[in-house]
Amino acid sequence: MMFKRMKCLVVAVFSLSIIFFYNNISAQEHHPATSHETEEKFDPAKEIMGHIRDAYEFHFFTLGHFHATINLPVILYSPQKGWSLFSSSRFGHEGENTYDGYKLENGNIVPVGPGIKVYDFSLTKNVVQMFIAIIVLVLL
Counting other chains too, the contacts that 75-84 makes at CB distance below 8 Å and 24 or more residues apart are 75/120, 75/121, 75/122, 75/123, 76/102, 76/109, 76/118, 76/119, 76/120, 76/121, 76/122, 77/118, 77/119, 77/121, 78/111, 78/116, 78/117, 78/118, 78/119, 79/117, 80/116, 80/117, 81/116
Predicted pLDDT at 19: 66
Q: What is the mean pLDDT of residues 92-114?
A: 84
**Mean pLDDT, the chain, whole residue set:** 80
pTM: 0.60
pLDDT of residue 18: 67
Q: Buried b vs exposed e over 79-101: b needs ≥16 C-beta within 10 Å?
A: eebeebebebbebeeebeeebee
Looking at residue 119, what is its pLDDT?
Answer: 92
pLDDT confidence of residue 33: 54
